[in-house]
Amino acid sequence: MGNVNWTQYPSQGFFDELLDGHGLPREAAKPLCDRLASFTPAELDERKTAAEVAIRTMGITFTVYTEGSTIDRAWPFDIVPRVIAADEWRTIEAGLKQRADALNLFIDDLYHDQKVVSDGILPREVLAQSVNFRPQCVGVTPPQGVWAHICGSDLVRDADGVVYVLEDNLRVPSGVSYMLENRNVTKRILPELFETGRILPIDDYPSQLYDTLASLSPRPSDDPQVVILTPGIYNSAYYEHAYLAQQMGVELVQGSDLTVGRDDVVYMHTVGGLRRVDVIYRRVDDLFLDPEAFLPDSMLGTPGLMRAWRAGNVALANAPGAGVADDKVVYTFVPELIRYYLDQPALLPNVPSYLCMFEKDRRYVLEHLEELVVKPANESGGYGMLIGPRSTPEERHEFAARIERDPRNYMAQPTLGLSTAPTLFDGTPHPRHVDLRPFILSGTQTQVTTGGLTRVALVENSLVVNSSQGGGSKDTWIVETEGK
């Protein structure tokens, strides 16, 4: 059996992350493509099998919810990395930092003076109908003025090669553990490609995350008590919660492990008695965080947690209420928010969008449903949307009715020709669509992961990359090229 011939890789007219329009490796991807081309299909399958064994041995799983049950599955992983040149990445990194800085200023403004509304930048009805604005947070100033300490912004590249921001995730963004584990697996199966040092490292993320969290402590201490608050083992991201706690060397707790004293201080139950908690990295949604302040029947949170936070006795990351900016309608205003708060043009463009709350946009969307992707304002995971070109007349009719009933809750975008990356099937590379979720840490400084979690649609021609809907993932390499 001969070696894999990359010149026979089928081009589909999309921008490919590894190969140019002539089927030749892009400069940053050349060492990778040369090495992969030296393998036979059987040898590539051996490496793929080795990756699957490593994933099972390391216990890397994710949870899929089905009707009436949950299923833990091995993490779906493709061994062919996605490669981005470091000089291009530096521009993306700067754009992500700019975006996170502006969003934090925006959130802080909304819970204080709301100048962005009174100045006419954000329509008043967008805020008035926001399901994630929390009146309980009005007037609170969290440490360093930061609300969204951990943000995951999803990036896509269109057929024209331009990188766009597709959405921002500021409530409880997940996936960073899989980014780190993808790298660990890749180092096991392609160790020779890491010898040159041109692939930039990502393994400092846990220490960066810990430093960001520790800097929020309300008490001066060299060893603040940081914990991760998880909903428990049945949560789809529980693997990540446990992984990050282990990597940072902090306690993983549930709501019942914490208590709030009469002094409005949070304590953790330990075998040695109560121990004060300074910082909580919470992976529990706002409404379940504190039954005193939000849903009274919540069993996932801790009574009094909001009192302690408002009193400044504990730091919460991300802060409650940060999700007010995690809204696909608010997303459309982010370039204007960057200009308003930072007096700068946006370095990363948004995908052009139509807001159904505006009559002209709504009319256009209803007339072009078969061409557009329509999204509800606050769903995640790829749920609740209409992909127009792949929809049925019945689905479009149903969505039109939804839009007419609640226009504020819907926005639409053109169907992008998402970039592709070679993905292995039976030892042969095939193009599959990808996106990218980098993670941004905001604290005393703003830091961006070197790359992020590349998600890949494993089904041919599919644009749905979410693992819960059949997607997989790849390692993401930021590569310094010759002379850089």
Radius of gyration of the chain (CA): 23
Kindly give the pairing relationship between strand 420-425 and strand 69-74. Answer: unpaired
Chain segment 275-285, per-residue pLDDT in tens = 999 999 999 99
Complete domains list, the chain, with CATH: 219-313 (3.40.50.11290), 354-414 (3.30.1490.270)
* pLDDT given for residue 467 in this prediction: 64
**Beta strand pairing status for 251-253 and 226-229?**
parallel
Q: CA separation (Å) from 250 to 83, 109, 207, 259, 403?
A: 33, 32, 11, 18, 45
Question: Exposed e or buried b for every residue in 37-62, given b needs 16+ CB within 10 A?
Answer: eeeebeebbebbeebbebbeeeebeb
What is residue 69's predicted lDDT score, i.e. its pLDDT? 52
Spatial distance between the Cα atoms of 440 and 87, rounded to a whole number of angstroms: 19
- Euclidean distance between CA atoms 439 and 434, whole angstroms: 17
Backbone torsion region of residue 289, taken as left when φ is above 0, otherwise alpha when ψ lies between -120 and 50, otherwise beta: alpha
* DSSP string of 61-129, one letter each residue: EEEEEETTEEEEEEPPEEEEEEEEEHHHHHHHHHHHHHHHHHHHHHHHHHTTT-HHHHTTSS-HHHHHT
Q: Cα–Cα distance between 448 and 93 in angstroms, integer?
A: 6
How high is the pLDDT of residue 332?
Answer: 95
How far is residue 196's CA from residue 199's CA, in Å, rounded to a whole number? 8
How many Å apart are CA 213 and CA 382, to the nearest integer? 29
- Which residues, given as ranges, of the chain have pLDDT below 50? 1, 66-68
Give the pLDDT score at 11.
64
Length of the chain: 484
Q: Look up the pTM and report it.
A: 0.93
**Dihedral of the CA atoms 323, 215, 276, 294 (nearest 10)?**
-10
Distance CA 409, CA 395 (A): 17
